[in-house]
Structure formats: C-alpha cells, structure tokens
Structure 1
Amino acid sequence: MNRFALVSLYRGLIRHPLYTAVNVGGLAMGIAVFILLGLYVRFETSFETWLPEHQTVYQIQNEWNLPGSPFNGVMPNTPSGLLEMIQEDFPEAKGTRILTSGKIIHNGVATSENIAHVDPDFLDIFHLEMVHGDARTALRDPANLLLSEAAARRYFGSANPIGRTLALSDGEDAQPRKVVGVFRDLPANTELDFTALTPMKGPAPDDMAMWRNLGALTLTTYLRFDTPAQARAFSQKLPAFVERHGGDLGEKPSDTLRYLLTPIADLRLAPGGKASDSRRQTIAMLGLVGLLALVIAVVNYVNLAVARAGLRAREVAMRKVVGASRGALIRQFLGEAMVLVALAALVGLILAELGLPLINAAADLSLILPYGVVLPVLALLVVVIGAVAGFYPAVLLSRYPAALVLASARSPGGGRAGARVREALVVLQFTLATGFIIAAGVLFAQMQHVRSADLGFQREGLLIVPAMTDSSLSESQRL
C-alpha cells in the first residue's frame, strides 16, 4: 500500500468510528476468545509431550469384564510382578513400574511426599532432566534417593543436597536414604505425580503369590517400544499371556481380563485416565466454542466489509478517472482489509493477555501465552481473513464502469448477486451464533451438574489429613 491508500484508510476509519469499533472490536473479541480457549485445549491435550521420546512409552491398562460387578471397565493399575512376568515370557521387553507411597522424615518431622518406588532402569524409560547427579547410576543402589528441585529446597534450602540423608517410611520402620541426584520439577501438563524417586523393593517370599496375581492391582506398569508397529505386534501377544498366567480368572481368562497398551500422551483423555468422560466432553466443547467464536467474528467482519463496499463506489470511480488500474484498486482493498485485521489481531492479543490471569485464577492453572506459537497463527489469520474479507469487495468495486457510477443517483450494491452474498453471510452468522448460544448453554448446564451432583456423602465440614505427623498441621489441628 502507498501513502495515499493509507491516508484514505485513515480518513475512512475516523469518518465512521462506529463502524470501525464494531468491525475491529468484534473481530478482536473473537480472536481473544479463540486464543484463550485454544490455550486451554492445547494444555489439556499436551500431557506428557514434554517428555523426551514420549511417543515410545506406553502404559499397560486393564480392561475387566466381570458380569454383575461394579469394577468393570479400564483401570490403570497392574499387579506388582506383571513386568517381571512379561520379561520372563518376552525377554526383549523393556519397561518400568511406579508405586507411589510413603513419607519422608527429616529432623524428626514426618512429611507426606509423593515418593515413587521405581525400577533401577526407570530413567532409561522416562528421560527426566537431571539438575545434579548421574541418571545412569542414580537408581542402581537400593539406598539411593532422588529429589525434585522443589523437594530439595524444602528439606535443604539453598544447600547442596547431594550426599545428605533422609529417612523414608512406608508404614514400617524408617529407612535411611542418601540423596544422589536432583531432577527438574515435573511440569503442570503431566499425570506423573512424584517429588522423589527411590528403587523398589522386591517381594518377601510370603508375598510372591500375591505379587504375581493378575487380580492384585497395586502399581502402574510402563513399556517402551521403538516403533508403534512393535507396540501393536506386542499387544496381539497379550491375550495368550493372560491365558498362560490367569488360571484363577476362570476357564477363559482372556474373556475376563484384557491388557491394553495406551501411549502415555493419550492417558489424560483415554478411558481410565484422570480425565472423566464429562471432562473430555467439556474440553471438546470449549474447543468448539473457541472455533465458533472466531468464525462468527470473521463472518461478521466480512459481512460488514461487503455491506460497506458499495458506499465507496464513487471513490473508486474517481480513482479510475485519474488513472488507477483495476489491479491497483484490488491491491489497495486487500491491503486495507489486512491492515484492519492486523489491528484487530493486535487488540485481540492485548485482550487475551488481560484475560489470561482471570482464566488462570478461575481454573487454577498457570497458562502463559506462547508467542512463538501465537504470533505465527495470528499472522496466518491476518492473511486469510484479510484476503477473504477484501477479495469480494475489491473484485466487485474494481469492475464498476466509472462513467456509470458517477452518473448514477445512488451507489451500486452489487446487484442481485451481491444481495444474495450478503443474505447468505447474515444467515450463516445467525446460524453460528445460535449454535454458539446452545453450546454455551450445554456447557453451563454440565458445569452446574458437576458442582451440584450428589456424591453420596456430606462434603461440608470434611478434612483430608494425610498423616497426623504431617508438618503442615498445627498442634491445635493434631489435637
């Protein structure tokens, strides 16, 4: 765009301030809603993707078919000895287990901590980032302990925790553990829930039968495969594995129990994951609402741009009289549309930044705007929306004969075809707005149901106390 086109755009904006506010403000609001809801959906669907080589790690889940039992369905826990039994039948299998339990005792004070008892090769499967210590040897000694950065600060402040000792208690006598490493705190988008790692103890001789019982669900088991094809091939071997080891499950064990291999990146929204069916529906609904908000704003913008295009017919005719070509006029209208969309995108980004703290406070999140992702998306929106909004008015106006327009008593409006285009846009806009209202109503009804549903017990006045010796409890609370 040249200087004269920019001056013409500026004069048009200040001459019609209401049009400018409605058009730019409406599109900006749609872009802001799209950004905010897109960030939430992106967060909910990004669980475990932070983990290096996450696409090669699968969780073994149980699918039970027990007629008349309330325990049917998919469950994430498996028997303690399942990994050992798998490796006995399939020596090439690589995996690890996680059992979370116990407390840490420091200076005579017991603190509940998410202590993960894992296999020695756990860090070969889950490549956690180490701040201090050697991941290759950190879990080889049963007396070793790894802490997260936050846990290390809680117990040792700014002092170096390496070589220090903490006592672990899992209901029995406290056992000393030497801190040999510190790993990065787990991010918010993960279902892994631990602040300390220590090697897992094997079973006592009297516990061996329960250790290998397919119905004793105590911990989570993970396997690593180099390719999805290997995972699918291994999954086909699991029914025969259940038949060999599930003798106490009836005549046909594989009819009662089926093992599923679920990629860890899918666990959040997979059956049996922490996200319930209603939560999955809510996430899908919010994504649809964000997309609808953007589409409605775009249609509104295009509709207003097309409706206003006829008012500029005489301006176009005068430009043709003084020598403007049709190509120059098309470039001017497309440029003006993209400048307006860019302005709306900037305002929408500002609104999103202002609204993000409110979203975080309402949903107890810590979302941030990733400008490396948001800015390219906004740039694409500017080009696409600007082209869509400016193409029809540009082609429509640039084809008018200058003499006919100047001789006419009123500005042309595009004829019957132009009227049909505007009517179609209005119908589409109101259809999408109606769908938006319905979706918002359904979402509100679901949230109200979740908040008011009868859980089967009185929630008011109840406290959850992990341990009476927890350091977070005051003396009066312990009494």
Structure 2
Amino acid sequence: MLKNYLTIALRNLRKHKGFTFINVFGLAVGLACCLLITLYVVDELSFDRYNTKADRIYRVHTDILFGGDDMRFAVSADPVGPTLKKDYPQVENYVRLHDRGTWLVKRSGQPNNLREDKIIFADSTLFDVFTLPFIAGDPKQALAEPNTVVISESAARRYFGHQNPIGQTLVFDNKQLLKVTGVMEDMPENSHFRTDFFVTMLNDNYQWGQWLSNNHHTYIVLKPGVDPEAFGKNFATVIEKYVGPQALQYIGVSMKQFREAGNRYQMWLMPLTDIHLKSRQNIELAPNGDMQYIYIFGAVAIFILLIACINFMNLATARSANRAKEVGVRKVLGSERQQLIGQFMVESVLMAMLAMGLALVLVSLALPLFNTVAAKSLAVQSLLSPGFLSFILVLPVVVGLLAGSYPAFFLSSFRPLLVLKGGAFKSVNRGSKQVSLRSGLVVFQFAMSVILIIGTIVVYQQINYIQTTKLGFNREQVLTIHEAYSLDSQVDAFKNEVLRLPGVVSGTISGYLPVPSDRSDSPMFPEGEIDQKKAVSMQQWAVDHDYVKTLGMQIAQGRDFSRDFGADSSGIILNETAVKIFGFKEPLGKRVVQFGDPSGKTQKVYTVIGVVKNFHFESLRRNVGALGLFLGKNTTSATFRLSTQDVAALIPQIETKWKQLAPGQPFNYSFLEDKFDAMYRAEQRIGTIALTFSVIAILVACLGLFGLAAFMAEQRTKEIGVRKVLGASVPSLVTMLSWDFLKLVFIAIIIATPIAWWAMNKWLEDFAYRIDVPWWVYIMAGVVAVLIAFVTVSFQSIKAALMNPVKSLRAE
C-alpha cells in the first residue's frame, strides 16, 4: 500500500512541476531558516552546561541602592565565598574570580611581550568548581602556591611551542614572574567567560576583608538536594552579621537605619546556566546574550515555517478542483476515505522530505554568512549530532502532516456524484468555508510579514539614533594607545613626542574613557555632612590636565584643570548629574569628601573648581550617572585627538615613537568611535538578522501568493474572457483580480500594526535614551506590504487579462 502511495505521489509531483517547485522551495526556505535559528538557539542555551556540576553552581550577585544610584553587580565582596563555606554546611565549595583585564606577557628570557586581553585571578578551588580538564599538571595543587599560573593549550603553544610548559616561567607586565603549574584544555566557546590564563589569587594585590567593596565574581557549589531559594534566605543573616558592622563604622548607621532611609543592600543567587542569557548585572566577565532575542528568533523561525506551511495548504486546497474528479473516480472504484487521506498525507510528507533535503543544502551554503552576522562559529557537523539528526528526521514528517492535514481531509470529503457531474468548480473552489480559510491564512502570512517589517525599521532607527545622538564629547578622530604603562617613566616623554607630530591636536594620559567599562561607583559626601542621606554614589576618575580638552567635553561652570593652579591637585570637576544629586545650587567652591578605605579613617577633601556638562560614559541603555574628575596618575592608555584626514600615514609615525621609547612592547591602538560602535554591536547584529529573515518571510509569503494568484486566474479564465468580450478593459480586469488579494493585505496591516507597536515598545524599554516610533513607520510598512503583494499578484493578473478571449471561450 505504501509503495502504491509513493508511486502515485511521485507521479502527481512530476505532473504538476510548477506547483511542486513552489511548495518544495517555499518549504525548503522555511525549514532552512528554522534549522539556522535552531542551531543559534541551541548554542545560546548550551552555555556553561559542559560543567558536570552546572545544576548546583550559583553566582552570588549584589544589588545596592545608595547615594542616588541603583547598582546591580555580578560581583560580591571578597569575604563572601569563604564565609558561606565556613558558616553554612549546605555549601560544598566556592571559587572567586577577579578579572584584572589586559596584561603584557612574555616568556622569561624573551624580549618581546604579547598583549593578553583577559587575565583572571582565581582561588585554588577553581578546578573543583568548574569542569576544565587538564592536559598537564595537578588541578588540585596548580594554584595553591604564590607566583603560579595555569594556562590554556593555545597559550602553551603560543609561548612554548612543542616544549613542555610545566615549570617554565612567564613574565607578566614586565615585573611578575609566574611559574606554569598546569595546562588546561581551551575553555569551550559556550562559556559565559573565557580566558587563557588563571593566576593564583595569592598574587592578587588586594585589600582583603572589605564587605563594602564588591569586586570578585563569587561562585558557590551547593550540595545535592539543597534548595537554592531556601538557602538564599541566609543572606539576610550574612548581611546583618558581617556587612552591618562595617557600614556602622563607615557611615555611622546600622543596617536597620540604612534600610529605613530608603536604601537597599541585597545578595542573591543566580544559576550558572542562566548567566549568559538572563543576567542584567553590571561588571560581567564577558558580554552576555539576551533571552529576549532567543524568544524573538524562535518566534521568527516559527513564523517563517508557518508561512511556508500556509503556502502548501493554500495551494493544495486551491488545486482541489483539479483533483476532484480523481477523488470521485477512486471513491466510485471502492477507495475508502482513510485510504485517500493516507494518499494525500504521503504526498505531503514526501514533499516535506524533499524540502528538507534542499533545506540542508541551503543551510550549508548560508552558514558561513550567518556565522559572520551572528558572531558565532556554528558548524554543519552540529546537524549530525544524535539530537539534531532526530530533529531533522522528525521535523519534515511533522511539517508534512501539519501542512497536509487540512487538504487531505478536505479533498477526501468530496462527494463522488457531485464532482463527476462537473459541479466541482462551484462546490469546491467557491465554498465559503474554504475561501474563508484560505483568506485567513493569507491574512496571517502578511500580518507576520508586516510585524517583521515594522520591527526591522524600528531596530535600525534606534541604532541610527544611538550613533547620531549628541554624547557630550567628541568621539571622532580620537586615537587610543593601549598599555601606556609599559612605557614606565617614559610615558610623558611619549605624549610630548606624539604631540609634536603634525596632525595631532592634543593628548591625555588616563585609563578612563567615556565608554562602558567594569568600573564601580564609590560614595562621596559634602564636607561636614558624613551622613548616608547626603551620600552620592559616583564614578571617580583620575585624569590629567588635558583630559577634558582632548575628549572635547564642555565646561558648564567654573574652569578646567590648569597647570597655573597648584591647588588643582585637590580640585574636582563634577558633572551636572553629581551637582544635582548633591543639591548644590552654587557648586563652585563647595568641598566634597572621598574615603580612602571602608573604615573611613582615611579621607581626602576636594574643592569643586568646575562643572562639566553631562556626557555619556555608559551605554545609552542607562541614564547619565554622577561623575567626578580629579587630577591623578593613571597610565593605562594614551589618548590623542587628531586633525588630519591621512590617519593611515600618521599611525606608523606614532608607532615609531613608541618603539623608540618602549622596545619589545606591543603597539596596540583603537579609535574611540570604534569602541563606541562596539557597545551596540549586538543590536546591529539583531537588526541585520531581523532584516534578513524579514525579507525571507516576505519572499516565502509572496511565493505562495504568486502560486495562489496563478491558480485563481486560471480558474477564472472563462469569466475573464466573457468580461473582455463584453468590453472590460485590461486595467479594470487587473484591478478586479488583484483586489481580492489586496483587501486581505489591508486586513493584515490592521491586525499587525497594534501587535508590532506593543512589541517594539517593549524592546525599546531597555534603552534609557530611545526613539519615539513615528507614525510613518507603520504607514511605510503597510505601503511596502501592499506594493509587494500588488507586484506579486498583478503579474498573474495582467497575464490573465491580456489573454485572447477566443482561446478562453473556445470550449463554450
């Protein structure tokens, strides 16, 4: 029976090649998009699941509301891990990570350094918590002693080639000598952080025991069976017992008084496997993904697949008149309804299987480009995993059954007497239920298309707004030379040498730039008012005399730092937000206090000499926070403002100056504009992917509409002939044939617009600075949808209207 079904199915597919192509290609595109997005989603959901204890590992987060700032940190105080392990038997183990950023590294005895972007200090318990297999060394002892480092397999090859790295020495920042005690496999890409170097925490030059300073990523492993929600209630006790005394010593209030003043101090647990997609905390070890985009992409995949399935259902039911006599004859000859249903379902599944084969080819061709756009390294081999193979085998069957179910039941329901008498056209193609279903499916297709069009326009508008909004500083032609500290005592000489080059306007030496960084706020108080209610939580940046001028910031009141005023060493420039929170009506001359340690014993008093206009030093997702600039030494980077258009010729000149003063040190640079653009790379990727899938969805919908219009024009051939004989013009016929479809598109626009408005406003809520979606966006999306539909339908309409009526009426 199955063989007979397959034979008839293949015969029908070959007989109707145009119909077969439209259905197979449409389904193939839908399935290919579904596979690509599934690869992406599965990869995103797989983060950190390679750890054998992943279901029991949690990171301790800290949320603080104080000094007018709502701070949500992915880090916690350094004593948190050891204290939880000591006080609570539910904790099996802990590890702390402290990211110290970019370092210069070289093999001992070698002259040249390499720049390593992420060096992480870690406790010796690291390898008991995370599953990081060792190639050489003992993971339990690797970080147990001072001056030790564990490196990745890639780093081992980079620095030691084929030699055994164990026992060898690496030099960090030209001063720290660390012995390699372990070589681990490269960390998986689906990890929420990655590094090639773990340095023992014993080498971290940190003032330990600070419950009020949050700088360490702390992970704990709960024992099997421990309820994390119940365990999290213990944090209230920890805060009262350990944080409270330091708060009392620091700002003179108990935790009860702290909370009564409207402040908040909380610690809570986040599951390791949720970090990549669900963490919205500050000071992450690496940029995270976003669960919101998983939902969006998942919905898009379903939409495109549904549009492709709808094409199948529409065309199959529209062709029902062509198969009505076949059904009638087979029923007369004794075929039962379930046999006819089986036949049509086999045809549908066979078509879906052919589409899946073509989809796999499309995926293999599109994957390199998709990886580039999505910043992934997905491989076609992933499709060969047992889970994906099952998915690939089951999906076309499900799609085939879904797409073919209604046509199969509909076609098999024909009454043989009626269809064999020639009533098929009237009863089959003009049935109100069938027309209503077909119309509803077309409306659904184009409603989804309109939503995707509106979404794409809004995303690109928001990105354009971000890139063109005034930031409060001039980011154009600003060059930053990294690791200026490797110049040591020559850093000022380097700055002066570069300033002599034509095309260099000004320069500054500072580690603080107006782009997001893992900087944390610290409180300052008005002098004489060391009161928690007067505290202002703010950024405090050490800069030099030329910082404001080089970055193109504007002084709103007072003045900039000047070498003519020796007292500026105790001066501070506040931004407008800080002035507002302090409540200073006349800020110039006011004095503010900065504590040097949590005990409050050491403090420094600054006099406000100027107010800088607010500038964005974080993502436009956040409001501008409080900030203070003071004179200080920070040699992390050297930044220069350029005035030449020939930057390509200037950079080698700067590099020559660098090599003269810092031989053997890598010359690394970037442009501030590129750093700014990198903040919104995720949104740019989302915009590109959304645009791509929107175009695909529209094309698939149009493909079905094209086939449907062709068939409907064929069914109305004699009607068109009669109308032409009676004097109907070609434009009137085209309008008549197109209107049936265009009115469905108008209905789709009416349905899609409020849904798109709601969805895009939800997305824009993540930005503190965002566009107001103008009304014309919805009009434009509707116009685009109507034009696309009209072009698609009118091709067939014009073809039918131009047909010679003699041919269409010959049989009458």
User: What range describes the TM-score normalised by the shorter chain of this pair?
Assistant: 0.7 to 0.9
Change in Cα spacing, 1:430 to 1:3, as seen in structure 2 (3 Å) is: same
- Mapped to 1, the partners of 2:162 and 2:406 lie a distance apart of 64
State the identity %. 30
Shift, 1:465, TM fit:
1.6
- Mapped to 2, the partners of 1:212 and 1:29 lie a distance apart of 59
Question: Which residue of 2 is the match for residue 109 of structure 1?
Answer: 112
Amino acid of the structure 2 residue aligned with 1:131:
I
- Mapped to 2, the partners of 1:264 and 1:4 lie a distance apart of 54
Question: Which residue of 2 is the match for residue 175 of structure 1?
Answer: 177
Contact preservation (8 Å) 2:5, 2:343? yes
Shift, 1:358, TM fit:
0.6
One of 401, 407, 420 as aligned partner of 1:393: 407
Question: Which residue of 2 is the match for residue 196 of structure 1?
Answer: 197
More displaced, 317-326 or 151-160?
317-326
Cα offsets for 1:69-118 (capped at 9, x unmatched): 3xx23111223333233344336532111123354331233334333221
Amino acid of the structure 2 residue aligned with 1:53:
K
Shift, 1:127, TM fit:
1.9
Can you give the 5+ residue segments of structure 1 that lack an aligned partner in the other structure? Answer: none
Shift, 1:63, TM fit:
0.3
- Mapped to 1, the partners of 2:16 and 2:420 lie a distance apart of 22
Shift, 1:459, TM fit:
5.2
- Mapped to 2, the partners of 1:154 and 1:422 lie a distance apart of 62
Shift, 1:454, TM fit:
5.2
Question: Which residue of 2 is the match for residue 242 of structure 1?
Answer: 239
Question: Which residue of 2 is the match for residue 424 of structure 1?
Answer: 440
Contact preservation (8 Å) 1:111, 1:469? no
Question: Which residue of 2 is the match for residue 267 of structure 1?
Answer: 275
- Mapped to 1, the partners of 2:469 and 2:353 lie a distance apart of 45
- Mapped to 1, the partners of 2:365 and 2:352 lie a distance apart of 20
Amino acid of the structure 2 residue aligned with 1:266:
D
- Mapped to 2, the partners of 1:40 and 1:144 lie a distance apart of 38
Give the aligned CA root-mean-square deviation in angstroms: 3.0
Amino acid of the structure 2 residue aligned with 1:77:
V
Change in Cα spacing, 1:150 to 1:33, as seen in structure 2 (3 Å) is: same
Pairing of 1:50-449 with structure 2 (within 5 A): 50-69=50-69, 72-90=70-88, 93=91, 94-101=93-100, 102-106=103-107, 107-113=110-116, 114-169=118-173, 173-177=175-179, 179-201=180-202, 210-227=207-224, 229-246=226-243, 247-249=245-247, 250-252=253-255, 255-268=263-276, 269-272=278-281, 274=284, 280-369=291-380, 370-371=382-383, 372=385, 373-411=387-425, 412-413=427-428, 415-449=431-465
Contact preservation (8 Å) 1:167, 1:174? yes
- Mapped to 1, the partners of 2:469 and 2:133 lie a distance apart of 41
Contact preservation (8 Å) 1:39, 1:367? yes
Shift, 1:148, TM fit:
0.3
SS in structure 1 at match of 2:480: coil
Amino acid of the structure 2 residue aligned with 1:98:
L
Shift, 1:241, TM fit:
1.1
Amino acid of the structure 2 residue aligned with 1:445:
Q
Contact preservation (8 Å) 1:139, 1:199? yes
Higher relative contact order (CA 8 A, sep 6+): 1
Contact preservation (8 Å) 2:44, 2:289? no
Shift, 1:460, TM fit:
4.2
Shift, 1:2, TM fit:
4.5
- Mapped to 1, the partners of 2:64 and 2:38 lie a distance apart of 36
Question: Which residue of 1 is the match for residue 35 of structure 2?
Answer: 35
Contact preservation (8 Å) 1:99, 1:219? yes
Amino acid of the structure 2 residue aligned with 1:413:
V
Contact preservation (8 Å) 2:24, 2:355? yes
Contact preservation (8 Å) 2:356, 2:396? yes
Shift, 1:47, TM fit:
2.0
Give the number of aligned pairs: 468
- Mapped to 1, the partners of 2:462 and 2:181 lie a distance apart of 48
SS in structure 2 at match of 1:224: strand
- Mapped to 2, the partners of 1:354 and 1:57 lie a distance apart of 39
SS in structure 1 at match of 2:432: helix
SS in structure 2 at match of 1:218: strand
Contact preservation (8 Å) 1:60, 1:222? yes
- Mapped to 2, the partners of 1:340 and 1:417 lie a distance apart of 26
Cα offsets for 1:41-87 (capped at 9, x unmatched): 33333321222221211111110111423xx2311122333323334
SS in structure 1 at match of 2:215: coil
SS in structure 2 at match of 1:267: helix
TM-score for both structures, normalised by structure 2 = 0.53
- Mapped to 2, the partners of 1:138 and 1:441 lie a distance apart of 53
Change in Cα spacing, 1:393 to 1:256, as seen in structure 2 (3 Å) is: closer
Change in Cα spacing, 1:203 to 1:409, as seen in structure 2 (3 Å) is: closer
More displaced, 379-388 or 275-284?
275-284
Question: Which residue of 1 is the match for residue 569 of structure 2?
Answer: none
Amino acid of the structure 2 residue aligned with 1:320:
K
SS in structure 2 at match of 1:220: strand
- Mapped to 1, the partners of 2:51 and 2:204 lie a distance apart of 30
Contact preservation (8 Å) 1:144, 1:199? yes
- Mapped to 2, the partners of 1:30 and 1:342 lie a distance apart of 13
Shift, 1:124, TM fit:
0.7
- Mapped to 1, the partners of 2:657 and 2:296 lie a distance apart of 42
- Mapped to 2, the partners of 1:134 and 1:276 lie a distance apart of 31
Amino acid of the structure 2 residue aligned with 1:365:
K
More displaced, 6-15 or 19-28?
6-15
One of 453, 458, 463 as aligned partner of 2:480: 463
Amino acid of the structure 1 residue aligned with 2:119:
I
Change in Cα spacing, 1:44 to 1:2, as seen in structure 2 (3 Å) is: closer
Cα offsets for 1:387-429 (capped at 9, x unmatched): 2222222222223333332122544417333333323323332
Contact preservation (8 Å) 2:64, 2:264? yes
Contact preservation (8 Å) 2:147, 2:203? no
Shift, 1:462, TM fit:
2.8
- Mapped to 1, the partners of 2:470 and 2:45 lie a distance apart of 29
- Mapped to 2, the partners of 1:159 and 1:278 lie a distance apart of 38
Cα offsets for 1:303-341 (capped at 9, x unmatched): 222222332111122233444333322111110000001
Amino acid of the structure 2 residue aligned with 1:188:
E
